[in-house]
Structure 1
Amino acid sequence: MIYTITLNPALDRQIWVEDIKYDESNRIIRETTYAGGKGIDVSRVLANFGADNVALGFVGGFSGEELEGRLLNDGVRCNFTYISTNTRTNIILNDEKTKSQTLFNAMGPEVQPQDLMRLIKQIQNLPNPEYVIISGSLPVGVQPAFYNKLIDTAKEIGATVVFDTDGKAMKVGLSSKPHIIKPNIHELERLVDKKLKDIPEIAQEARSICKKGINIVLVSMGANGMLCVSSTEEYWAFPPPVNVQNTIGAGDSSVAGFVLALKEGKSLKEALAFAVAAGTATTTRPGTAVCLPEDVEAIYPNVTFRDVV
């Protein structure tokens, strides 16, 4: 069983306007709402592929009920920890004229200490935990050390732990040695506190992280593809050219594709190619982490590889 943990999920409200005019009234030409959050995005993609998984995390209020209801309609199994305050709503503004996308991310509700412990006890009793994917930002009032507790607990029950977050939370969480991490290039630069100018330098930093006890480092680099580094293997994969409509959730789709491929027994190189195909497939459709199997299957054979150094 695959479990995803999203501590600070959101309703993602996507709005499209023809041409943003500042200090004027703008007419919305269409809009839609998705259940969002990095782990939730992963769960949605896994569900699209028929992979058995359960979404965990904190939700609250009417917006939390809407989020869970939308996920159930998407075929995602949920077992959320309910809190007393409302789940946040993010706004994603799309300008049709410029083809630009602007994100307004809300802070989210404050989570109480007793809520944290209810989630920990739930994780301690998860049935058949093969993979636990911990990703996304921390709620208000929750310190990065809570990620250490989550990672340690997931490892204690025998799960392979995938960790995907940013900033101080990533730095602190690494001390618990999750098995797999998936920073994008900007998150990796913040993790190592330096600008990385080329692939050899990026690969070297990934190797250094592996030496600290991380089994696999995946680095997504947008148009420059995705790098995968372990203690014994290194691959650099590129997607084919596609018509990009949306980038929200592409990295989460890559995580889902990578874990799904590993669970099915694919090699590290094959899993990387599947991750790249899943992330790329998401960019070809509007909406948050909309990754369809038929799109992935069409892209997967066209993923190419280059030498790391």
Structure 2
Amino acid sequence: MILTLTLNPAIDMNYKLEHLAIDQVNRCGHVIKTAGGKGLNVTRVLKCVEADVLATGFLGGKTGEFIADELDHAGVAHSFVPIKGNTRHCLAIIHEGNQTEILEDGPSISKQEAAAFLQEYDLLLDRATVVTASGSLPKGLPKTFYQQLIQHAARKNRKFLLDTSGESLKEGIKAAPYLIKPNQDELAALIGEKADTEAELIASARRLAATGVKFIVVSLGKKGALGYFDGRAFIVEPPKIKAVNAVGSGDSMIAGLAYGIDRGLPPEEALTYGAVFGTLNAMEERTGYVDRTQVESFKRKITVRTVD
């Protein structure tokens, strides 16, 4: 089973406007409300390909009830820990080819709620093979919380895929997760210098691998991704596509990586599934969705090359 963590979920509200009029009334007839958060995007994509997946995290208030109901309606297994605070909203306004986002901070997690989550998490780890953790930490949790979760997973020999940024990523790396997926800017922040060429990217990945991270994936956007595993580097390149909605493609890549790792595939093939899921998601209007019937045929269009 793949266990997905969404510690700061949200109701994602997507408003599509032909034109955003500042300081005026804007009426919208195209509104999409979904159970959101990076980890839930991962969950939905895994559900699309019929993987054995279960979602956990924190939920509170009426917004939390909405998310639980949405997951139940979609047939997604979940075991969230209840909190006193209200789960947040996140607003995305699509207008004139742009996307303007307004993101609430979300609730503050108490020490008692954090302890309850750790207890539930340890029980779920007994059933899991792979763990994914995506997105920001909610207020109230220490920056070392992902580090704690990685250590708990390591004690039970579970592979932990960490997709976060900033201090949470820096602290998380200290516990040597199985996989991290920084983009080039996040990689530069971790290493302390920019990496633009393939040689520079590999050198940076090698430095991170020395900290104990087994599998490093550097997201390169439309160009695909660079993987570094056990001293070997490889580039996975998707074909050119007409993107419809790229939101959630990074989360979809994590879903593909988890899917491949859970099946015991070699790192190159696991990253190939990551590229497939990420690209297929960009071809859909819905966030966190891939067409299962296209996965294997699209996989044959992915180029994998070894880099010296």
Q: Output the TM-score relative to the length of structure 1.
A: 0.95
Q: Per the alignment, in what secondary structure is the counterpart of residue 29 of structure 2?
A: strand
Cα drift, residue 26 of structure 1: 2.1
The runs of 5 or more residues in structure 2 that have no matched partner are none
Cα drift, residue 190 of structure 1: 2.0
1:15 is matched with 15
Whole-angstrom CA distance in 2 between matches of 1:172 and 1:13: 31
Cα drift, residue 231 of structure 1: 1.7
Whole-angstrom CA distance in 2 between matches of 1:219 and 1:239: 14
1:246 is matched with 245
Task: Say if 1:38 and 1:136, in contact at 8 Å, map to a contact too.
Answer: yes
Cα drift, residue 266 of structure 1: 2.3
Task: Say if 2:214 and 2:229, in contact at 8 Å, map to a contact too.
Answer: yes
The runs of 5 or more residues in structure 1 that have no matched partner are none
1:212 aligns with 2:211: yes
* Bigger Cα displacement from structure 2, 43-52 vs 122-131: 122-131
Q: 1:121 aligns with which of 119, 122, 125?
A: 119
Q: Per the alignment, in what secondary structure is the counterpart of residue 28 of structure 1?
A: coil
Whole-angstrom CA distance in 1 between matches of 2:216 and 2:8: 24
Q: Structure 2 counterpart of 1:145, which letter?
A: T
2:276 is matched with 277
Q: Per the alignment, in what secondary structure is the counterpart of residue 302 of structure 1?
A: coil
Whole-angstrom CA distance in 1 between matches of 2:288 and 2:185: 20
1:137 aligns with 2:136: yes
1:133-182 CA distance string (max 9 Å, x none): 12210101211111111111111122111111000110011111111111
Task: Say if 2:268 and 2:304, in contact at 8 Å, map to a contact too.
Answer: no
2:55 is matched with 55
Whole-angstrom CA distance in 1 between matches of 2:304 and 2:155: 36
Whole-angstrom CA distance in 2 between matches of 1:298 and 1:105: 37
2:65 is matched with 65
Q: Structure 2 counterpart of 1:75, which letter?
A: G
1:180-224 CA distance string (max 9 Å, x none): 111122222222232222222112111111111111001111122
1:155 aligns with 2:154: yes
Cα drift, residue 306 of structure 1: 4.0
Q: Structure 2 counterpart of 1:164, which letter?
A: D
1:43-87 CA distance string (max 9 Å, x none): 111111111111010010000010111112222101000001110
2:294 is matched with 295
Whole-angstrom CA distance in 1 between matches of 2:227 and 2:48: 24
| Paired positions, count | 307
Whole-angstrom CA distance in 2 between matches of 1:36 and 1:199: 34
1:241-286 CA distance string (max 9 Å, x none): 1111112211111111111112223222111111101000111111
* Bigger Cα displacement from structure 2, 204-213 vs 16-25: 16-25
1:179 is matched with 178
Q: Per the alignment, in what secondary structure is the counterpart of residue 162 of structure 2?
A: strand
Whole-angstrom CA distance in 2 between matches of 1:295 and 1:197: 32
Q: Output the TM-score relative to the length of structure 2.
A: 0.95
Task: Say if 2:12 and 2:33, in contact at 8 Å, map to a contact too.
Answer: yes
1:111 is matched with 109
1:77 aligns with 2:77: yes
Q: Per the alignment, in what secondary structure is the counterpart of residue 104 of structure 2?
A: coil
Q: Structure 2 counterpart of 1:105, which letter?
A: L
1:43 is matched with 43
Whole-angstrom CA distance in 2 between matches of 1:34 and 1:112: 26
Whole-angstrom CA distance in 2 between matches of 1:158 and 1:193: 31
1:308 is matched with 307
Task: Say if 2:57 and 2:80, in contact at 8 Å, map to a contact too.
Answer: yes
Q: Structure 1 counterpart of 2:112, which letter?
A: Q
Task: Say if 1:59 and 1:81, in contact at 8 Å, map to a contact too.
Answer: yes
Task: Say if 2:280 and 2:291, in contact at 8 Å, map to a contact too.
Answer: yes
Q: Structure 1 counterpart of 2:123, which letter?
A: N
Whole-angstrom CA distance in 2 between matches of 1:130 and 1:269: 19
Whole-angstrom CA distance in 2 between matches of 1:278 and 1:195: 28
- Percent identity (aligned): 33
Q: Per the alignment, in what secondary structure is the counterpart of residue 280 of structure 1?
A: helix
* Bigger Cα displacement from structure 2, 280-289 vs 78-87: 280-289
2:32 is matched with 32
Whole-angstrom CA distance in 1 between matches of 2:76 and 2:239: 29
Cα drift, residue 31 of structure 1: 0.8
Q: Per the alignment, in what secondary structure is the counterpart of residue 29 of structure 1?
A: coil
* Bigger Cα displacement from structure 2, 41-50 vs 181-190: 181-190
Cα drift, residue 28 of structure 1: 1.2
Q: Per the alignment, in what secondary structure is the counterpart of residue 67 of structure 1?
A: helix
Q: Per the alignment, in what secondary structure is the counterpart of residue 187 of structure 1?
A: helix
